Amino acid sequence: MAYDTIKVETNDRVCVITLNEPDRLNALSDRMAVEFKGAVEGLKQRSDVRAVIVTGAGRAFSAGGNFAEMKKNLGGDPAVCKHRIYGFYKSFLSVMDLPVPTIAAINGPAMGAGACITLACDMRIAAEGSRIGFAFARIGIHPGMGAEYFLPRIVGRAKACELLMTAEEIPAEEALRIGLVNHVAPPEELMDRAVGLASKIASRPALPIRMLKESIDAALASDLESTLHREAAYQGICFMTGDMREGIEAFIEKRKPVFKDEY
């Protein structure tokens, strides 16, 4: 499918979604929201894709909301605004619905709602020199796109308060220190590092990785006892697969396993 504001490319089980309006610093528009959600819906149906990377074209990941489009809401009916904005959020946060692991490759500034897309991904790698900021308060608006949901879970409540209330940008190295990103890489190595991580995950059997993504999220919202029951049930399913048999036999025989995604 052809897109105007994003690119979708797949190579060796890894798909890269690129926000592709570099002249506008990949500001998030209504058109991009529709295309992004459409791309995610398509990827959900593909068994050949094992990991997804989200990045930006040009010198920014995303500058955040498109101010020209945001101005349309000024003075508008709050109920109407809420309905439109909620749909906008859900389009970009649909990345969370992908059953495979997702990695944000932060190639440049990731601001506001653009930064929130990176938080919605399972992992983040940032280029040296990139910056992340939640500038909502700077323009007099309440945070959106799940900012106050994601941030306390990733960096803790106190740091989330600081980032959201001061609206200050932080460099990639500080983001790494506080656990906001997994790794920092030289700009010229960013995509290689992201693809390397995605490929390593993609080399594992598909079923346990898909279940693991689901169970990690579920564990964050449940107690230990529920988690133990879920783990036992999922391990029971894995015991029925040819890949687990291969994994055990390879370990005993001290060789590299050859997984075939045999369920």
pLDDT of 143-164, one tens digit each? 999 999 999 999 999 999 999 9
**Is the same domain home to 89 and 134?**
yes
In a domain, 1, yes or no: no
In a domain, 141, yes or no: yes
- 263 has pLDDT over 60: no
**Is the same domain home to 95 and 194?**
yes
Q: Provide the domain count of the chain.
A: 2
In a domain, 44, yes or no: yes
**Is the same domain home to 114 and 198?**
yes
**Is the same domain home to 186 and 221?**
no
**Is the same domain home to 49 and 108?**
yes
In a domain, 150, yes or no: yes
* Residues with Cβ within 8 Å of residue 56, at least 6 apart in sequence: 18, 19, 22, 26, 62, 107, 108, 110, 114
Q: Is residue 260 very low, low, confident or very high in pLDDT (cuts 50, 70, 90)?
A: confident
Give tens-digit pLDDT for 22-42. 999 999 999 999 999 999 999
**Is the same domain home to 46 and 148?**
yes
**Is the same domain home to 148 and 243?**
no
CATH number reported for the structural domain that contains residue 233 in this entry: 1.10.12
In a domain, 247, yes or no: yes
Across the range 51-59, mean pLDDT stands at: 98
Lowest-confidence region among 101-110, 118-127, 218-227: 218-227
Q: Identify the pLDDT of residue 262.
A: 59
**Is the same domain home to 77 and 115?**
yes
CATH number reported for the structural domain that contains residue 159 in this entry: 3.90.226.10
**Is the same domain home to 123 and 230?**
no
In a domain, 262, yes or no: no
| Contact assessment for residue 160 and residue 116, using Cβ atoms and an 8 Å cutoff | no
In a domain, 260, yes or no: no
| Contact assessment for residue 54 and residue 95, using Cβ atoms and an 8 Å cutoff | yes
In a domain, 258, yes or no: no
Q: If DSSP states are collapsed to H, E and C, what string results for the chain?
A: CCCCCEEEEEECCEEEEEECCHHHCCCECHHHHHHHHHHHHHHHCCCCCCEEEEEECCCCCECCECHHHHHHHCCCCHHHHHHHHHHHHHHHHHHHHCCCCEEEEECCCEECHHHHHHHHCCEEEEECCCEEECHHHHHCCCCCCCHHHHHHHHHCHHHHHHHHHHCCCEEHHHHHHCCCCCEEECHHHHHHHHHHHHHHHHCCCHHHHHHHHHHHHHHHCCCHHHHHHHHHHHHHHHCCCHHHHHHHHHHHCCCCCCCCCCC
Across the range 60-84, mean pLDDT stands at: 82
Closest listed residue to residue 112, CA positions, set 25, 236, 17: 25
Positive or negative torsion for Cα 72, 75, 76, 78:
positive
Across the range 245-256, mean pLDDT stands at: 92
**Is the same domain home to 216 and 158?**
no
Mutual orientation of helices 78-93 and 30-44 as an angle, nearest 10°? 40
Task: Please give the residue range of the domain that contains residue 145.
Answer: 6-202
Higher pLDDT, 86 or 77: 86
- 171 has pLDDT over 80: yes
**Is the same domain home to 51 and 180?**
yes
**Is the same domain home to 122 and 176?**
yes
